[in-house]
């Protein structure tokens, strides 16, 4: 019997990937039908919104002014002011332009870390499809709580860290976390507790993309407790780093500045007192020599290593079975209901046993149903040209006749569908009817 937690607070160090689906549900005090509305509201108040916290960055103007906080820059500013006071506007403008360009370059480089954080926050989808009170609902991702049951379809972005309860041909692009270029094959069976992040096949991580198939999972972590949330927290807590080499270069810059100032003062005194130059001419010559000797600030400054990486965004192909059928299934259902069709009655008479989700590669989906007489029927829908390839016969106004083509594709489709559901049938059972 798995331990119960009255507060319904997930244990932070639980290896969810090593738990069975039933154990994960028990630990979260949830079930496959989803949470009740009252319980979801209570857990939302307990855990907070499922969103990454926004960090209060420095104002843009302050980040720009910080680029001038350097001894060499002070020296150049002083030189520009001296040139301007002496009426050498062109020299002053050139020196000021060098200082401003240097500040702009530093400002742009320093903003990379903040843009990386914003990119990570944008990885969370605005809405998610969940089961609550046993009903399929669309809720804001920020309202997801541990214990919510989330449904995944092709093209969806995983809204939180999920322990998968079921997966059908589910492929998830996890490049944003693992760097793998190939989508990961997901399944619900638990894995070893020591498995690496990329090997936890029963987990779906927040911010990753569903490339194909369908899945259902229970939320085990939200907000900053997710894997992508931990990355965001690490980036947000990055301190300004200066390597030993950069510290030596910065120390050299300060010493060079003092040496340059001392040499400029000595040269100015020699030119005026010994050689008899006018003081303004001597000053401009000294300024020109000092600025020419300035090594600049190309290697200095603060470096935010995590910010230099762009957030990797995986891409997934989205397959739409309704579009493949050439229309909106909901409108078809509404039209059928107006004609007297009772969906609940038909679902009771033809219970669904299993289903093969739509896949962009095969361009069709199929469902297996059992009739009241015990027969099994397969219903298939998909792209018209794909379905026609599977057909061996066609119905005309007078009768059903064979198509003038090889029935090999039909036999392939029959074996493909039937092979997926062989576990439901016995050897003596007849083959299912495919419609």
CATH code, domain with 154: 2.70.150.10
Q: What percent of the chain lies above the pLDDT cut of 70?
A: 71
State yes or no: pLDDT of 57 exceeds 80.
no
Do 221 and 327 share a domain, yes or no? no
- Tell whether the torsion through CA atoms of 149, 153, 159 and 163 is positive or negative: positive
The verdict on residue 279 lying in a domain is no
| Average pLDDT rounded to a whole number, residues 370-379 | 87
Tell whether the model's pLDDT for residue 185 goes beyond 90: yes
Residues 190 and 43 in one domain: yes
Q: Which of 251, 242, 379, 304 is nearest to 116 (CA)?
A: 304
Is there a domain that residue 396 lies in? yes
Which among 174, 152, 114 has a CA at the least distance from the CA of 318? 152
Residue 203 has pLDDT above 90, yes or no: yes
Which is more confidently placed, 303 or 78?
Answer: 78
418 pLDDT higher than 80: no
Question: pLDDT digit string (tens) for 165-179?
Answer: 999 989 999 988 888
Residue 204 confidence (pLDDT)? 94
Q: Give CA–CA dist 156/414, Å, rounded.
A: 30
Name the band, by pLDDT with cuts 50, 70 and 90, for residue 313: very low
Mean pLDDT of 55-66: 76
Tell which of 225, 260, 290 closes a domain.
225
Segment 372-380 shows an average pLDDT of: 87
pLDDT band at 262; cut points 50, 70, 90? confident
Among 225, 240, 273, the domain-final residue is 225
Domain boundary among the residues 225, 241, 269 is at 225
Which residue's entry shows tokens 């809405």? 127
Range of the domain at 338: 321-434
Q: Using 50, 70 and 90 to split pLDDT, how confident is the model at 277? A: confident
The pLDDT value recorded for residue 379 is 87
Q: How many domains does the chain have?
A: 2
| 46 in the same domain as 155 | yes
pLDDT of residue 232: 74
Give whichever of 6-10, 100-104, 201-205, 306-310 has the largest mean pLDDT: 201-205
CA atoms within 13 A on the CB side of 139: 25
269 against 303, higher pLDDT: 269
Residue 400 lies in a domain: yes
| Average pLDDT of the segment spanning 146-164 | 93
Averaged pLDDT of the chain: 75
φ, ψ (nearest 5 deg) of residue 414: -65, -45
Residue 239 resides in a domain:
no
SS3 391: coil
Assess whether 31 and 151 both reside in one domain.
Answer: yes
- Output the DSSP codes for 315-366: ------HHHHTTS-HHHHHHHHHHTT--HHHHHHHS-EEEEEEEETTTTEEE
Residue 11's pLDDT band, with cuts at 50, 70 and 90, is very low
42 by Cβ neighbours in 10 Å (0-12 / 13-18 / 19+) ranks as: middle
Q: Is 384 domain-assigned? A: yes
**Residue 33 sits in the same domain as residue 148:** yes
pLDDT at 403: 52
Q: What is the mean pLDDT of residues 79-89?
A: 82
Residue 70 lies in a domain: no
In this predicted structure, the answer to whether residue 399 has a pLDDT above a threshold of 80 is no
CB neighbourhood size of 318 (10 A): 15
Query: Residues 110-128: pLDDT tens digits?
Result: 777 666 666 655 655 688 9
Mean pLDDT, rounded, for 307-323: 35
The answer as to whether 353 is a domain residue is: yes
Quick check: 50 pLDDT over 50? yes
Q: How much is the pLDDT for 162?
A: 95
For residues 28 and 150, membership in a common domain is answered with yes
pLDDT interval class at 148 (50, 70, 90): very high
184 in any annotated domain: yes
Least confident of 48-52, 53-57, 157-161, 361-365: 53-57
Round to whole Å and give the CA distance between 316 and 206.
15
């Amino acid at each position: 019997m798995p331990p119960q937690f009255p507060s319904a607070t997930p244990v932070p160090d639980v290896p969810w990937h090593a738990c069975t689906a039933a154990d994960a549900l028990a630990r979260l005090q949830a079930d496959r039908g989803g949470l009740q509305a009252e319980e979801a509201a209570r857990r939302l108040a307990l855990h907070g919104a499922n969103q990454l916290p926004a960090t209060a960055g420095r104002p843009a103007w302050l980040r720009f002014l910080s680029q001038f906080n350097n001894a060499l820059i002070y020296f150049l500013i002083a030189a520009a002011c001296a040139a301007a006071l002496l009426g050498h506007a062109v020299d002053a403008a050139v020196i000021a332009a060098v200082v401003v360009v240097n500040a702009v370059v530093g400002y742009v480089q320093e903003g990379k870390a903040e843009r990386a954080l914003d990119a990570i926050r944008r990885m969370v989808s605005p809405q998610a499809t969940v089961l609550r009170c046993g009903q399929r609902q669309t809720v804001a991702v920020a309202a997801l709580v541990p214990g919510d049951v989330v449904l995944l379809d092709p093209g969806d972005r995983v809204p939180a860290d999920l322990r998968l309860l079921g997966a059908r041909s589910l492929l998830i692009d996890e490049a944003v976390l693992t760097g793998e270029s190939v989508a990961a094959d997901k399944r619900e069976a638990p894995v070893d507790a020591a498995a690496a992040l990329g090997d936890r096949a029963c987990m779906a991580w927040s911010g990753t993309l569903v490339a194909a198939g369908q899945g259902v999972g229970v939320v085990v972590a939200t907000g900053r407790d997710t894997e992508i949330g931990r990355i965001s927290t690490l980036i947000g807590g990055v301190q300004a780093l200066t390597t030993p080499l950069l510290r030596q270069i910065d120390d050299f810059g300060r010493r060079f500045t003092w040496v340059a100032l001392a040499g400029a003062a000595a040269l100015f005194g020699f030119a005026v007192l010994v050689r008899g130059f006018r003081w303004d001419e001597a000053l401009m010559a000294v300024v020109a020599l000092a600025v020419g000797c300035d090594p600049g600030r190309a290697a200095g400054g603060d470096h935010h290593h995590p910010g230099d990486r762009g957030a990797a965004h995986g891409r997934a192909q989205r397959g739409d079975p309704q579009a493949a059928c050439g229309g909106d299934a909901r409108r078809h259902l509404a039209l059928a209901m107006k004609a007297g069709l009772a969906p609940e009655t038909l679902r009771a008479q033809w219970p669904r046993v299993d289903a093969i989700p739509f896949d962009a590669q095969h361009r069709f989906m199929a469902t297996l149903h059992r009739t009241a007489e015990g027969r099994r029927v397969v219903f298939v829908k998909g792209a018209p040209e794909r379905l026609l390839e599977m057909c061996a016969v066609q119905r005309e106004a007078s009768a059903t006749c064979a198509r003038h083509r090889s029935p090999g594709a039909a036999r392939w489709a029959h074996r493909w569908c039937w092979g997926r559901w062989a576990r439901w049938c016995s050897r003596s059972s007849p083959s299912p009817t495919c419609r």
